[in-house]
Amino acid sequence: MKAETGAARGRLLPGEEDPSWGEVPLHLRQALRVSAHQLVTLARGSLKAKEQRRVLSALRAAERMQMTGAHWRLLLTTEREAFGSTSSARAGALYEVLERILAEHLPLPRDQQDAPAAPERTGAG
């Protein structure tokens, strides 16, 4: 099933139980750990909201480097704004790490590499 939101929007992600989640390279897990730590220690705004408990829990798992497939899928499909405002450098850094993980560890399947990107929806109609 294709991800509908977040850094993984439009991408096929492995299932929560897929062993490939345990194969994310150490340098990417460490980069995520650093970014997650910076967000968790200063959690405020949208991250402190009750409905974001699962995201905050996944960030804490990333900080401890004890990620499950469910944590990976949640973080990769969470919208950028849930991590912090668009002006937040820390939230931006975390989102960039998630995009690197997608690019380096979960490359597009061959059938998606050659397909043209879906056109963006605009309000014009």
pLDDT in tens, 60-119: 999 999 999 999 999 999 999 888 888 889 999 999 999 999 999 876 555 554 444 444
**How far, in Å, CA of 91 to CA of 94, rounded?**
5
Structural domains counted in the chain? 1
Domain of residue 53: give its range: 19-107
In a domain, 55, yes or no: yes
DSSP track, 22-47 = GGS-HHHHHHHHHHHHHHHHT--GGG
In a domain, 38, yes or no: yes
Asked if 108 and 78 touch (Cβ cutoff 8 Å), the reply is no
In a domain, 115, yes or no: no
What is the pTM (predicted TM-score) of this model?
0.81
**How far, in Å, CA of 92 to CA of 85, rounded?**
9
In a domain, 125, yes or no: no
H or E segment and range at residue 64: helix 53-64
Asked if 109 and 12 touch (Cβ cutoff 8 Å), the reply is yes
pLDDT in tens, 33-67: 999 998 887 766 677 788 889 999 999 999 999 99
